[in-house]
Amino acid sequence: MRDILVINSGSSSLKFAMLGLDDLRALDDFSVHYQGQFSGLGGCQAHLVIRDGQGKILRDDHFAAIDDLYDHAAALKDLLKWMDENTDSSRIRAIGHRIVHGGRHYRQPVRLDEGVLDDLETLIPLAPLHQPHCLGPVRMLLTLRPDVPQVGCFDTGFHAGQDPVAQAFALPRRLTEAGLIRYGFHGLSYEYISRRFPAYLHRPETGRVIAAHLGNGASLCAMLNGVSVASTMGFTALDGLPMGTRCGNIDPGLVLHLLTAEGMTAQQVGDLLYKQSGLLGVSGISGDMRDLLESEMPSAKEAVDLFVYRIIREIGSLSAALGGVDHLVFTAGIGENAAPVREMVSKGCEWLGIRCDHSRNQRGEIRISEDGSPVGVWVIPTNEERMIAWHTAHYCH
């Protein structure tokens, strides 16, 4: 038995899971010993929930900052303390991390050491909300658990094999050659979907699939028989769909306007586009879809409508990249739970042959398309932690 600790560190959250594995055959062979999440990191108070493999709550606690803010480092220290006091930490064979940006060089999972970390730190400007929080825990664990191998799994890796024409911006060659290309993100989520989907279809060839990872971060990926062909995200995780607080695709001329005519600094523009835009910016209420769906305010509806409109347009674009579409898969927090969003998106894509069954969608069934719909519509829960554990176990085998 190998126990794998998975760390999936986001901008204000730290998810973790301890998974056990008897053999390396299937993604679902892992047993979950426990898993949990710190949320609200970077503020004065954070919330921790830990559950066992059956979903029973083992710990539900609030942590307050002692001097400054309760951040990812404080969370990791508290997690390790809980593990030492309540579990047998000596069983951990390896630690797997989700790393948002691997740049041009890191396409496959890699053993993380000081040299690799130094390299990955140079990519922080390309994913400023995420990369520092992905790398911080690795550095801490290199000191606190030096004997346990750590493996980095990259969100960009799944897209690395896309055709160069799908990756290139129409910029001068030297910039493309220097790595200013579309990388695409949420790759671990899409890889999980691509590996699980054949079992739902009962055949290995899945055809032309558009997967919609709709969570706080949101993107779409076009896959041909499980291989990434195109994605809505680009050089950074700012491009593509509007997200909780990120703007998604905008005219680059608008950025120039903010810098020149509005006199904003690069830092201010960065904050605006990463933290004050998207659902939060448009609604002026919240970046959280649940809040917006519950709100009576017209601006909440406008934010949801814009989110849905952009998804419909991008599905059209990715269908063109694939030469048609056979299946649409919804996943992540909004995709798995927000039936009204799925219904509105499906309605806007009827011209593609997408027909969503209202009752199946409301009930949250796995296949929500009408019988006889030319395009299958699916809701498949993603599981980045399992994907990371699988890669880590393979790497350390």
Instruction: Look up 155 and say whether it is catalytic.
Output: yes
Note whether 49 binds ligand AMP by CB under 6 A. no
Note whether 244 binds ligand AMP by CB under 6 A. yes
Please state, in angstroms and rounded to a whole number, the distance separating the CA atoms of residues 205 and 187: 19
Angle formed by the axes of helices 298-322 and 339-348, nearest 10°? 50
Q: Which of 3, 71, 155, 239 is catalytic?
A: 155
User: What is residue 251's three-state secondary structure?
Assistant: coil
Please state, in angstroms and rounded to a whole number, the distance separating the CA atoms of residues 159 and 268: 30
User: What is residue 371's three-state secondary structure?
Assistant: coil
Please state, in angstroms and rounded to a whole number, the distance separating the CA atoms of residues 316 and 45: 42
Of the candidate spans 108-116, 133-141, 283-291, 361-369, the one that interacts with ligand AMP by CB under 6 A turns out to be 283-291
Quote the radius of gyration of the chain (alpha carbons, Å).
21
Judged by CB under 6 A, the residue of 119, 288, 326, 370 near ligand AMP is: 288
Nearest by Cα to 349 from 382, 327, 322, 371: 327
Judged by CB under 6 A, the residue of 181, 334, 345, 396 near ligand AMP is: 334
Judged by CB under 6 A, the residue of 126, 153, 289, 388 near ligand AMP is: 289
Note whether 248 binds ligand AMP by CB under 6 A. no
User: What is residue 33's three-state secondary structure?
Assistant: strand
Note whether 293 binds ligand AMP by CB under 6 A. yes
Distance in Å, CB of 60 to ligand AMP, minimum: 18
Distance in Å, CB of 300 to ligand AMP, minimum: 12
- Cα distances (angstroms) measured from residue 14 to each of 77, 149, 266, 352, 385: 12, 20, 28, 38, 12
Of the candidate spans 86-94, 143-151, 332-340, 343-351, the one that interacts with ligand AMP by CB under 6 A turns out to be 332-340
Note whether 337 binds ligand AMP by CB under 6 A. yes
Residues with a catalytic annotation lie at 155
The contact set with ligand AMP (CB under 6 A) reads 215-216, 244, 288-290, 293, 332-334, 337-338
